Amino acid sequence: MSEERSTIKTYKRLLSYAGAYKFILVLGLSASVITGLSRFGFLANVGPFIDSFSQNGETEAVEGKEKEKDLINSMNPAEYIADKLGVDIDDKNQAISWQLALIYGFGLVGFTLLNVLMKTINRYCMRLLGSYIVRDLRDRLFNHIQRQSLRFFGKSDVGHLISSINNDTAAVQRAVTGNLAELTRAPAEIIAVIVFVVIFFFIKLGMYAIPFILLAVGILFYLPVHFVARRIKVIYRKTLEKISELNSRMHEVFTGIRIIKAYNTEDIEQDRFAHTNRRYTKAVLKAARAELGVQGIMECMNIVVGVAFIIYCMTQGFGYGFLFTLIAVGMYAYEPMKRLAKVYTQMQQSVAAADRIFDYLDDDQSIQDSANPTPMTEFTTSIKLEDVSFAYDKNSPVLKSINLEIPKGSVVAFVGHAGSGKSTITNLIARFYEVDSGSISIDGVDIREIKNADLREHIGVVTQDTILFNCSITENIAYGDRNVDKDRVIEAAKKACAHEFIMEKEEQYDTIVGEKGFVLSGGQKQRISIARAFYKDPEILILDEATSSLDNVTEHEVQQELNILMKNRTVLAIAHRLSTIKDADVIYVLGDGCIVEFGSHEDLMALDGSYAEMYKLGVKDE
């Protein structure tokens, strides 16, 4: 896992996914700029509009102050507008006629409507963009995880992986879809206010105090948000870890529900879940307290600053128009700053979730194709292992310098005690793992030079733990085929002796089998698995203790179907009951990571070594 990333760096990486949607991004940004301009227009009109209802505009409240007169002339361009429109103005007191007041009023309404329209466009574009970003991120995360090697999955908690794909991306989506709109619009509005203040107060009027007061207020609002938000990010990451634990707990319980009921442990599992759930709730409440604390600080500062600002205006004797303009400036500066503060705290949640997602994306343990892979159109000669060594844990080697050759069309069996490396050999041949040293070649070509998809296109697998998906029987048999041939499905089912029980189902081949084939018996599931292998019709067939979980009667029936499946194929069989592999061309006996014996059944029995001992014990148990 990577080190803690900065918020800005993570958010920039998150937004890099917006490159594919430039039109939406440009449209949203343009709307945010126009939103800021509409705020500028509103501020430029509000003072003159208020003054237009006063006979003297309250502009002479403090006599002798030339600055006030300059202010009115700059804020209320009545003479210029009246001259252009031919509207009379009383030169003595600059009282503006109702026509000009109406013009100012329409200006305020127009800028407000423009603001609302552009704000709506900005929000929609940014939510659309955020949704697309998160959709692409979720797709990439799922694709990245499923392409990892079995070594990755052996070290990962499935519940945590599911939580990252679901909950982490959902947390990013909740924050990004709303935050993008604010992150583009609020700065534009703040910039518009700053430009207005600089032009009218700083440049035209030389009133230096107000711009610096607003700057100081902005800094005061930023500091508590910045320091608290860093803490919120850590808290949010912990909440995501806790929800991952909840998902992991639920995944284990629901997939192992039969064992839980058999051992009557519902209450124990409930206690475990409740404990994890309480820890999650505690973390959520901690994050809520921190976020609400920031909002509380800002509200208090808003009141204090507002009161101080009103007192300052009263002591200066500002007129109504000027006062309303200052109030509007304060409101239009405070509102986007408040929204940005809220966004900044919410960003911590999305950044914490994005950090977890990027941790997975940066941890690439997938088995990559070579730069120039050799195509594999057919299997013609043999599979060869040369000095192959492998270890799941570096301190515990599973295979040590294995050398063997499997001719095309032969049946080869691997036997040995648990942990001797039987399944590991077949997993390495299918390149589910990468060898630590040595090489595996097919037809003289190192499998690392063969495209993974080509290699596995020639391999079929029937395992002890039958994997069926929560879809129809047809889809399970034709799994991996985008263009299902229903006739081939039925033919494969008949060869696997599955057609009869399938036709007894109400929905027949359209029957949904449930998660992991929940609605089928063990023998039925294994027959569907065999039918899947018949449908694929692979040249290389791996049988990984395919009948070990069945009773003797069912095993005998399934073994007959397997014998049919094995004809005219290269078969790698891992056997639990040695009586099922007596007819293998070569039997390899593994022990302590090495091949200790090999030969036909008769040869090994005559040798009277490890195989003979295991076989005699197996026959006795049967």
Please give the residue that has the higher pLDDT: either 600 or 286: 600
CA angle 499, 505, 506 (to 5 degrees): 135
* Mean pLDDT to the nearest integer, 197-226: 64
pLDDT at 79: 46
Q: Is the pLDDT of residue 431 over 70?
A: yes
On the 0-12 / 13-18 / 19+ scale of CB atoms within 10 A, 156 is: middle
| pLDDT tens-digit readout, 255-279 | 666 666 656 677 777 787 778 778 8
407 sits in which H/E element: strand 396-407
620 confidence band (pLDDT: 50, 70, 90): very low
* Mean pLDDT to the nearest integer, 174-203: 70
Model confidence, pTM: 0.68
Which of 89-93, 263-267, 438-442: highest mean pLDDT? 438-442
| pLDDT tens-digit readout, 411-421 | 898 988 877 88
Q: Is the pLDDT of residue 39 over 80?
A: no
pLDDT at 384: 92
How far CA 284 is from CA of 17, 173, 237, 290, in Å, comes to: 29, 18, 10, 10
Q: Which residue has the tokens 């299997």?
A: 379
What tokens does 33 get? 């700029």
Q: Nearest to residue 360, comparing CAs of 244, 532, 211, 207?
A: 244
Q: Is the pLDDT of residue 437 over 70?
A: yes
Yes or no: say if 196 and 329 are a contact pair by the CB < 8 Å rule: yes
| pLDDT tens-digit readout, 320-343 | 556 666 666 666 666 777 777 777
- What domains can be seen in the chain, in order of their start residue? 7-362 (1.20.1560.10), 381-458+572-622 (3.40.50.300)
| pLDDT tens-digit readout, 461-493 | 888 777 788 888 888 888 888 888 899 899 888
Q: Which residue has the tokens 């014990």?
A: 617
How far CA 435 is from CA of 128, 151, 391, 406, 454, in Å, comes to: 45, 12, 8, 18, 19
Please give the residue that has the higher pLDDT: either 236 or 80: 236
* Mean pLDDT to the nearest integer, 599-621: 79
pLDDT at 324: 65
Alpha-carbon torsion angle 446, 449, 451, 455, nearest 10: 0
pLDDT at 155: 76
Please state, in angstroms and rounded to a whole number, the distance separating the CA atoms of residues 543 and 428. Answer: 14
- DSSP string across 438-483: EEEEETTEEGGGB-HHHHHHTEEEEESS----SSBHHHHHTTT-SS
Please give the residue that has the higher pLDDT: either 28 or 447: 447
Beta bridge mates, 597: 589
